Amino acid sequence: MPDTGAATDEAPLAILYRDDHLVAIHKPAGLLVHRTALDRHETRFAVQLLRDQIGQHVWPAHRLDRGTSGVLVFALDADTAGRLGQQFEAQTVAKRYVAVVRGHPPESGLIDHPLTRQRDDNEWVDPGAQTAAQPARTTFQRLATIELPIAVDRYPTSRYALLQVAPETGRKHQIRRHLKHISHPIIGDATHGKGRHNRMFAAHFGCQRLLLASTDLWLDHPVSGQRLHLHAAPASDFMALLDHFGWRAALQIQSPPL
């Protein structure tokens, strides 16, 4: 079984599902889905690597942040790409993530907080245009907690939690922005997180990645109509941390409502 940790030049992408119409991979943390203006120096992208690996063109059906690992779906033709895109736009695709966050959030909750649109790198933006916030909803369930005897900030101990997270809408960086909004940012998030906690995880646990993983995705097959459940356990580097905290047994991901 191929390792699904950080991307390397030698390791092939781990294929979770493939048929004549679509293919799903376990995207490693640190790998861009496609080229962006902000990362001109990068030469490796999931689109390119998968195309070369399977010998045919691919169309990404959705996106994962560079730092996020997990389930990523591609169409194998333009018509299938359009059908998959319609499902994501209609919000009939269900997604589940796991994240390690700062603090101890409630056992469960709904974050209903509008988010301003974050433009893509190649989109032209009128500097004078006003961007209205868009509705955004994310549910979460607390799976496990820990309190470490490590001083961070002004406290003698530090608290962290493992969450299962389900975005009901698909705003850019929604999970990361929503968890910051409730003051439980994801560990390893350099943009929306807390630098002191990120540095502590790097120093004590050798963890320098964003601790967010797309573990489950449900969609209707664009040709057969069958409901597909695509699953990827957290990558090896992510699992090593969960094992260290004794959290492996907490990874009991529940299916979404029918």
> Strand 22-27 and strand 14-18: pairing?
antiparallel
Rounded to an integer, what distance in angstroms lies between the CA atom of residue 72 and that of residue 169? 17
Nearest Cα neighbor of 67 from 95, 31, 34, 43 is: 31
Nearest Cα neighbor of 9 from 37, 22, 25, 28 is: 28
Rounded to an integer, what distance in angstroms lies between the CA atom of residue 254 and that of residue 245? 21
Which listed residue (3, 9, 20, 65) is catalytic? 65
- Asked if residues 25 and 74 have their Cβ atoms less than 8 Å apart, the reply is yes
CA distances from 250 to 4, 70, 110, 143, 241 (A): 20, 18, 20, 6, 13
Residue 65 annotated among the catalytic residues of the structure: yes
Instruction: For tokens 């470490």, name the residue.
Output: 148
Listed in sequence order, the DSSP H helices in the chain are 46-54, 78-90, 174-181, 195-205, 236-244
Just list the catalytic residues. 65
